[in-house]
Amino acid sequence: MRNLKVALIQMNPKPYELEYNLNLFLSIATKAIEQDAKLIVLPELFDSGYSVDEKDFAMDFSKINENETLQTLSAFAKKNKIHIIACSIEKDEDKLYDTAYIIDSKGTFIGKQRKMYLWGGEKQRFSEGEKQEVFELDFDEFRAKIGVGICYEIGFSEVARTLALKGAEILIYPSAFGKARAYVWDLASRARALENGCYILACNRSGEEIHRITKEQFQFAGCSRVIDPKGEVIAQVKSENECLIATIDIDQIYKQREALPYLKDIHTKLSKGAML
């Protein structure tokens, strides 16, 4: 039996307030450690806020030792022997990416997933990622395969389907999903779980932001949740800053995929052509 205790940290970060945001993460994450969670998921751009001027805030992943966010996450993961999925702004030469980092329980960076499908004004702010990867995490007693999509990508069935076909058992979505489309968040997150027979860890941010230059207001849906392979919500956040704890049974994935074999039956000429 592969039972995994996971922690989703919903939080309301402040734009440009790196120290505040990192300390907020650390304070909320204490619950994850107290309850012996093995995997933490953070919202999209948890350290910077969503509406920042990326050119001023971007961090160079190639210089990990100079990156306060990555150093904080790595140290926390290593000290507490916990895996972390966290999304931050990545600078790669002259390009910026909305990137999720995968950090193992030894504090080692084992990979990253750049956002491929950009929402609205993000197209002017970020470059698109170019590939999807599945990562295998070692939880000592067992291993599990994860795939990562970021926020808007939860609405693209092909993102989840591609990851599931590559072997992902858990799909993780760090997000800053808007309150105006909370109904999409609810529907899409459950649909991705059901159609792929996998667990969904959908970690959204809460609160609101006002862009300091344009004065545009952003309101976020919150409602971070864990969804089982049947598409049922088994745990959901109730407050603005909260650590949601849930235990998932990874072996249930394969029972559900036998009962409702969408992945098995997709292997037809029509479906393969549609995925190209």
Annotated active-site residue 19? The verdict is no
Given 44, 153, 169, 242, the catalytic residue: 44
Given 90, 112, 151, 223, the catalytic residue: 151
- 113: part of which helix (H) or strand (E)? strand 109-114
- 14: part of which helix (H) or strand (E)? none
Helical pair 157-165 and 182-196, crossing angle rounded to 10 deg = 30
Pair type for strands 199-204 and 170-175:
parallel
Annotated active-site residue 151? The verdict is yes
| Alpha-carbon distances of 59 from 96, 123, 173, rounded to whole Å | 9, 19, 21
Side-chain-side CA neighbours of 231 within 13 Å: the count stands at: 12
Annotated active-site residue 44? The verdict is yes
Given 87, 90, 115, 209, the catalytic residue: 115
Closest CA to 275 of 260, 258, 261, 263: 263
Q: Where in the sequence numbering do the catalytic residues fall?
A: 44, 115, 151
